[in-house]
Amino acid sequence: MATNEEITGPISQEDIEAADKLKNEANEYFKKQSYNNAIELYSKAIEKNPKNAVYFANRSIANLRLENFGYALSDASKAIELDRAYTKAYYRRAAAYMSLGKYKLALKDFEFVTKVRPNDQDAKMKYTECNKIVKKIAFEKAISVDKKEVNIADSINLDAMTIEDEYVGPALEDGKVTLKFVTELMEFYKQQKKLHKKYAYKILIDVKAYLQKQPSLVDIKVADEAKFTVCGDIHGQYYDLMNIFKLNGLPSETNPYLFNGDFVDRGSFSVECIFTLFSFKLLFPDHFYMSRGNHETLDMNRMYGFRGEVSSKYTSQMADLFTEVYNWLPLAHCINSRVMVMHGGLFSKDDVTLDDIRKVDRNKQPPEDGIMCELLWSDPQPMMGRAPSKRGVGCQFGPDVTNTFLQRNGLDYVIRSHEVKNDGYEVAHDGKCITVFSAPNYCDTMGNLGAFITMNGKDLKPNFTTYEAVPHPDVKPMAYANSFFNMLCQ
């Protein structure tokens, strides 16, 4: 970015004062969790005075809150460039690095602060905590290499798990999910009770076995007069998931659903959400579909709460098993060969076909580029062409990219999720790219509506139902998130 002198010479006192006023207004929006408005005003402050590191650091934390990790990283780096001694900017950049799974780079920032401020106890503590995470991850990787051939699902001994007499919750029948089981499970969860670990493990093992047989792109057939529902991110908001079923009916063979990724993380009822969804998957395998999202990944689960929640409610071994299961979730679905549904978006290249997606080897953590990464991470933009991702992963794609992809593959439009929208949905790219987001008042702070899409098989015209958040027990979002990461993002 060019400095102000290169454009207009020295910054006037009037611009300095105006910038500071804009920054103060932005801070008020930030306190109200109105992050987009805050970013807009921080940006205006930067236009007036591009030499103030605080404005960039403040915009960085607002972008972090919106999961715009790429922008957050860029802003924090600019703040450091402007003021090498600005500790907060290093912390912001470290949080952005950690969000992107780049823990060693985060550690370097903490290390730098401890060197320039050797008596700063807070810096020393942050360096120590980050170092623990880096060492723990290195240890986990070493173990996974040693145990490369170990399949967690195969190593679980269900017969050794006894159902205690005092357990009065839902039970599988002959080891199978039934409608009675899932109905009782949903009520049980509303009372904040826990499914027995034997049944929980059995569900995971059975879901994995089913998903392993599925292609990376699943074709869905919907009859002309049949209804089909697509839901976006749920993010551990169990009571809002129950509200979707109240508004739209329970999943069944005559009421099929597709949940489009990000079932977990952020919200603190992720375990309840995922076991309910997996139960419906086993009950109606050909009428209930689930796509992988960017939060069905190890790095996200480690930072944003799911791994901590599973370890707290069950065991770290079960958290590892979830990682194994998530690796087999399909990456995309295609409805009646006309509507493509994926969590994130389209690609950095124009030549991607549906067959290319079908051939993706998905049994892994997503790479940092390529088809799998972009299906989980990319976002649309209003401008033509492509741009680097605001998230630091995937790409941003314009209406021309969407049109080219649709024409190449004989499709009508795409549905994706991945982004909070005030109305719960957004229709972009001349109606060809639709975003649906199903977690209302995301993280108890965003104030957005949730939405889901219904259509019939004949015309596949999207109809939108929106709804507000419903009350939930007093467990805050991110309650199980990495405490050190939470502290950095304050």
Structure tokens at 378: 């990319």
Short-list 233, 240, 284, CA closest to 262: 233
- Separation between Cα atoms, residue 439 and residue 452, nearest integer Å: 10
- Phi/psi at 112 (nearest 5 deg)? -60, -45
Query: Residue 131 burial by CB count (10 A; 0-12/13-18/19+): exposed, middle or buried?
Result: middle
Task: Give yes or no: 295 in active site.
Answer: yes
Token pair recorded at residue 422: 């005030």
**Contact present, 454 and 258 (Cβ < 8 Å):** no
Strands 257-259 and 227-231: parallel
Select from 71, 56, 67 the least CA-distant residue to 23. Answer: 56
Q: Which two tokens stand for residue 153?
A: 């699902």
CB neighbours of residue 240 within 10 Å: 24
Strand partners, 428: 433
Strands of the sheet containing 227-231, edge to edge, are 288-290, 257-259, 227-231, 450-456, 463-467
Are 341 and 332 spatial neighbours (Cβ–Cβ below 8 Å)? Answer: yes
Report the alpha-carbon distance of residue 438 to residue 272 in Å, rounded.
16
Whether the CB-CB separation of 395 and 389 falls below 8 Å is answered with yes
CA atoms within a 13 Å half-sphere pointing along the CA-CB vector of 397: 27
Question: Number of helices and strands (H, E) in the chain?
Answer: 20, 14
Q: Which of 235, 295, 418, 429 is catalytic?
A: 295
Tokens 């993706």 found at: 360
Check residue 258 and give left, alpha or beta (phi > 0: left; psi -120 to 50: alpha): beta
- How many CB atoms lie under 10 A from the CB of residue 227? 16
Separation CA 440–CA 423 (nearest Å):
9
Is residue 239 within a helix (H) or strand (E), and if so which, with residue range? helix 238-248
In what helix (H) or strand (E) does residue 160 lie, and over which residues does it extend? none
CA angle 444, 446, 450 (to 5 degrees): 85
Backbone angles phi, psi at 465, to 5 degrees: -115, 125
Side chain identity at 275, as an amino acid letter? F
Which residue, chain included where needed, has tokens 């892994």?
364
Supply the residues annotated as catalytic: 295
